[in-house]
Structure 1
Amino acid sequence: MKQRIFLILTAALLSLVSCSSSDNDNDEPVVPTELSITSVKVGADGNNPNGDGSGVVNFTITATNADYFRALINNEALDITGNTFSYTFTQGGTNDYEILVAAYNSAGNTSITYPITVYVETELNLIWQDEFDTNGSPNASNWGYNIGTGDNGWGNNESQYYTDRLDNAIVEDGVLKLVAKKEDFQGAEYTSARLITSGKFEFTYGRVDVRAKLPAGGGVWPAIWMLGANFGTVGWPACGEIDMMEYVGNNPGQISSALHTPSSSGATINHHVTSISNETTEFHLYSAVWTEDSITFMLDDVEYYTYNPSVKNDDTWPFYNNQFLILNIAMGGNLGGTIDPNFDVSTMEVDYVRVYQ
């Protein structure tokens, strides 16, 4: 979540002392020269070049013929005692700043800008989790089911029938297994599961982490996503949809994230694809950070897409109400595409789901 902040020195800062004129006598002082600033970020090392997350940076200013110094950081003017000072940055994440420093004497002043990148760790509290450490059915206190087909009004021309059977959703050996399989069931050719936290856990703003290994096969369409809890009253897309991760078995090596709103639904423009490797053989961490201003998606803690519309209204930003979590595997449909005729069974394994605020 990088943000470039361009700082300018206020008129008051530079006007306190006027620069000397060019026709001063030789014995009169001249404005400070050779102004420089260095910094030491607390806790910085090869693994943490931008600091240890405390946001504390120690600065040293030097100049020739300087009587005193001032600095402007984050629009905050600082009078410097001596030539060293410390400053604590507080904006969470890794951010770029430009610091303006000025050296003064009776003849006037000189100034320079100094760029710096600082990391600030944002403390998060775990408010909800499922570690899937009890074998059997998924925890009924955490998860419910959507059952049936797209005829219920929430499908996308998919071919599966969602069930609540252990055949399609089971906790085993510390992971949740969602199983899509080819079988004749209730008039459908495939079965799968769609787990939801609707009515059990709903929240506004926070970070969601889901560690999962994805299913393989032409036609599989697994998803980790969220839907507005007011879906039943305002409908879709007015409720807002946050697609943390969607994967198409017909397009291995990539995942996508998207936002659906009244101004961007269906074939959404608020959409980003990123590369991934070993997605069906290894676990990866899929994350979303949802704040009042933006929604950022991450793969293995690396940011790859942020949605932050310049104008926020009900059409572009319905994301100020509770959302609930959804885990599912669809088969075929608008995004899943053609199902491999040789497809038999495939599983999405979920190690954990954690929500922080």
Structure 2
Amino acid sequence: MALNIKSLIFLFFSLTLLTSWSCSDDSIDSGNSDDNSVPNSNVVPSNLILTTVLQGADSNNPYGNGSGIVNFNAQAIDAVSYGFVIDGGTEVQSTDGTLLYTFNTKEGIEYYNVTVIAYSSTNDAIETSANVAVSYYIGTPPVWADEFFQTGAPNSENWTYDLGAGGWGNNEAQTYTNNAANVIVEDGVLKIMAKASGSGYTSSRLKSIGLVEFKYGRLDVRAKLPSSAGTWPAIWMLGANFPSVGWPACGEIDIMEQTGWDKNKTLGTCHWLNTSNSSYASYGLDTAISNVSSEFHVYSLEWSANSIKILVNDIQFFVMNSDGSAIPNTPFQNDFFIILNVAMGGSLGGDIPSNFTEDRMEVDYIRLFQ
């Protein structure tokens, strides 16, 4: 049957539409597209390195000069910006990876955690963290200090020990050890712990002989004292020539002693040898003080060529003329070393209660100013 002209036209348009739809479907199924753009790839930084420079740090001041100022520098491959987080605080942004930061919230030497984050152009990031020890002091920094910020045994560059029993010249009951059960640094303080041990007692006695010795200056010791009867804590000093001349010729300065029967006062005393008749000599005073076991107090020595002064919380209660006119052949013109201990019983500890188990002296810091 012959097709008319209208039928031919209709057939032509039908075939055209069918072909067009088929091509379109093929394009979708095959994933082909006229768009030739390539999706962006993620850029992840790498090799992140953080360096720290403490202002004024040197061999004598490894934790800086007391200003608390630290320069941080972070660098990473493919990083375009950085963020710094100090001790979990708010993130501080830096475009070039540098940050000048002042640690001034805690006086002394403290550890701080520093996290640095490196960001790429696609906002991908990597991070690293470090602990940094920094010194900060209000006013003039000390010439020497032990801030007891490193957990573990006391710093061997500052302290050695007296060990053993034998009464120590005062009928004391304890045996001194260097065991962690009796002496440890933790929570930012030195803890000297006296304990009942079988039929006796153990404790610890630290000394700086041969390590830290000085003549003249101000020494501040922030401490919390034991509360138990029978304990005899002391913060004191002996002449550095003690091994050769003995006691009392070497001289002794007691910055703080507390008796075992009166926990509401502390004593300051000096001991020496009266060379005019080769006899023992001493001079001492006491001062009332409250909350010595529940709160820290600062026990201080101000020592010059002419006098020795002892203070509690900056209040002077003891002064003695110590020059040659007052004390012939005075030992108080020589170097001294520091001693920290808790004795049990003895001449100033007194009777020890039968139910005593343990007590402690805690020392937050020792700072020497000259």
- So what's the TM-score if we normalise by structure 1? 0.61
Which residue matches 1:172? 186
| Residues 193 and 310 (structure 1), Cα distance of their counterparts in 2 relative to 1, 3 Å cut | closer
- Do residues 289 (structure 1) and 302 (structure 2) align? yes
Inter-CA distance 234–324: structure 2 relative to 1 (3 Å threshold): same
Return the alpha-carbon distance in structure 1 between the equivalents of residues 340 and 323 of structure 2: 30
- Report the 3-state secondary structure (helix = DSSP H, G, I; strand = E; otherwise coil) of the residue aligned with 1:149: coil
Structure with larger Rg: 2
Q: Distance in 2 between matches of 1:341 and 1:324?
A: 35
1:156 aligns with 2:167: no
Instruction: Identify if the C-alpha distance between structure 1 residues 269 and 233 changes in structure 2 by more than 3 Å, giving closer, same or farther.
Output: closer
Does 1:147 pair with 2:163?
yes
What is the aligned length?
230
1:137 aligned residue: 153
CA-to-aligned-CA distance 1:45-83 (integer Å, 9 cap, x gap): xxxxxxxxxxxxxxxxxxxxxxxxxxxxxxxxxxxxxxx
In 2, Cα distance between equivalents of 1:310 and 1:232: 23
Write the letter of the residue equivalent to 1:285: V
The one-letter code of the counterpart of 2:234 is A
1:190 aligns with 2:194: no
Contact 2:173 / 2:343 at 8 angstroms: preserved in 1? yes
* Paired AA for residue 230 in structure 2: G
Identity of aligned residues (%): 50
Contact 1:206 1:289 in 2 (8 A): yes
C-alpha distance in 1, partners of 2:207/2:142?
19
User: Quick one: structure 1 residues 266 and 253, their matched pair in 2 at CA, closer, same or farther if it must change by over 3 Å?
Assistant: farther
**What is the CA distance between 1:263 and its match in structure 2?**
2.8
Name the residue aligned to 1:320.
333
Shift in alpha-carbon separation, 1:295–1:310, aligned structure 2, 3 A = closer
Show structure 1 runs of 5+ residues with no match: 1-122
Letter in 1 for 2:192: L
Consecutive aligned runs of 4 or more in structure 1 exceeding 4 Å deviation: 264-269, 313-316
Instruction: Give the 5 Å matches for 1:291-306.
Output: 291-306=304-319
Instruction: Give 2:293's aligned residue.
Output: 280
Q: Measure, in 2, the Cα distance between the counterparts of 1:239 and 1:207.
A: 20
Which consecutive residues of structure 2, in runs of 5 or more, have no partner in the other structure? 1-138
Aligned-pair Cα RMSD in Å: 2.1
Q: How much has 1:155 moved relative to structure 2?
A: 3.2
2:350 to 331, 337, 340: 337
Q: C-alpha distance in 1, partners of 2:174/2:281?
A: 24
Alignment of 1:255-266 (within 5 A): 255-263=266-274
Bigger helix share:
2
- Which structure 2 residues correspond to residues 1-357 of structure 1 after superposition, within 5 A? 126-150=142-166, 154-184=168-198, 189-263=200-274, 269-309=282-322, 312=325, 315=328, 317-357=330-370
Q: How far 1:290 moved relative to its partner?
A: 0.6
Deviation sequence 1:268-297 (CA, Å, 0-9, x none): 641001000000110000000010000000
Letter in 1 for 2:190: L
Give the deviation of 1:127 after TM superposition. 1.4
1:148 CA displacement: 0.6
1:130-162, Cα deviation, whole Å (9 max, x unpaired): 1000111111111100001236xx431100000
Contact 2:229–2:260 (CA under 8 A) maintained in structure 1? yes
Q: 1:238 to 1:148 in 2, by over 3 A?
A: same
- Provide the C-alpha distance between the structure 1 equivalents of 2:342 and 2:203, rounded to a whole number of angstroms: 6
**CA separation in 2, counterparts of 1:229 and 1:309?**
17
* Cα drift, residue 315 of structure 1: 4.6
201 and 176 in structure 1: CA distance in 2 versus 1, 3 angstrom threshold: same
Q: What secondary structure sits across from 1:353 in the alignment?
A: strand
Shift of 1:340: 1.2
Q: For 1:234 and 1:313, how far apart are their aligned partners in 2?
A: 21
Q: Deviations over 1:155-211 (max 9, x none)?
A: 311000000000000001000000000003xxx600000000001110111110000
Distance 1:137 1:310 in 2: 38
